[in-house]
Amino acid sequence: MKSSVGSSFLFTALLMRVFCLETISAEQSCTSNTGAPGVCVRIRDCASLHDYVANRPIMGIGAMLSSVCSFGFFKVMVCCPLELPKDENTPLLPPHCGHSAGLHNRIVGGNDAALNAWPWMAAIAFRFGNDSGDFIFSCGGTLVSSRHVVTAAHCLEYEEVSYQVRLGAHDLENTDDGSHPIDVIVESYVVHPEYNNTSKENDIAILRLDRDVEFTKAIHPICLPIEKNLRNRDFVGTYPFVAGWGATSYEGEESDVLQEVQVPVVSNEQCKKDYAAKRVVIDERVLCAGWPNGGKDACQGDSGGPLMWPKQTTYYLIGVVSTGSKCATAQFPGIYSRVTHFLNFIISNMK
């Protein structure tokens, strides 16, 4: 009887909280119930609060009630604190980031990137089991600290393989091109717990390298968009860059030399219309970018690579190459995992 009364009280409290709420849009910044800066997300995307509710239901539900920041039909959003973990050995969020030494032109339809143009680019390679053969390059990634690389979850679907990351590379087949790349073994990795390999929802992962890398002109981290004004942006109408060693046409040969292209971000509403006839989930977890007439886009092999937005002379990681319709197809923009939505996942796994 007491539990029934308690449940009724909590439900009533939730209704009062929801209907008295001045709503905040999903992904917007907010202040958590602890006074910390946060982002308004679904509770399933807030690991700290979700785990608290699961482990301590009564207190957890109370914390959830005080964290509600928005609501919709069968969907309640909570203010999830952006917790920046500390690590005595590794500067997790480096104070200097996002600076490129290259000049960038406006990949399918893209151009060869200049040497050291994108110093945070990572080429991810794998080999099976205890095989002593060469690593096979398969995806891109982005250096975000001296020990962490962000990539797409679908890049890590092979079982019983080991991974390696090449940093500072320009031409993957010619290491004497002046780039002086380094290869670093992946010590461990975390795939988003709700990644769906069919729909490609929550298509993001983070790699931990087996050692800290030294920052140079050729190896340097990109910035994460943790500032409040960036977490609130949808970036629609901006022209970020995408880069990678992927195919230069659909099912074509991959490029040995790093390619780059600039693409416009389109609204999720337009993207939903473009993909209406396909089984693709377009929601707050993704960002869409591409030219209406096609011709320029990320392609096979670019998966996991960065969508990079310039703020004056500093570049921010705003998207991770995820999926789309073939490559550079007219009326089908590329689909990227939206980094501002996954900041908590990224930062909480930078250990």
Catalytic positions are: 154, 203, 303
Q: Quickly tell me which residue has 């390298």 as its tokens.
A: 209
Write a three-state SS string for 115-139.
CCCCCCEEEEEEEECCCCCCCEEEE
* Residue 44 tokens, joined: 């399933």
Say which residues have a Cβ less than 8 Å from residue 351's Cβ, sequence separation at least 6.
Answer: 85, 87, 208
- Angstrom CA distances, 283 to 88, 173, 273, 286, stand at 37, 38, 12, 6
Residues in the chain: 351
Which one, of 48, 115, 91, lies nearest residue 214 by Cα?
A: 91
Question: Residue 323 half-sphere exposure, CB side, CA atoms within 13 Å?
Answer: 20
Question: Residue 252 half-sphere exposure, CB side, CA atoms within 13 Å?
Answer: 18
DSSP per-residue letters across 54-93: HHSHHHHHHHHHTTEEEEETTEEEEEEE------SSS-SS
Q: How far is Cα 278 from Cα 302, in angstroms, rounded to an integer?
A: 22
Q: How far is Cα 204 from Cα 202, in angstroms, rounded to an integer?
A: 6
Dihedral of alpha carbons 161, 90, 192, 56, sign: positive
* Residue 325 tokens, joined: 């319709």
Q: How far is Cα 230 from Cα 107, in angstroms, rounded to an integer?
A: 26
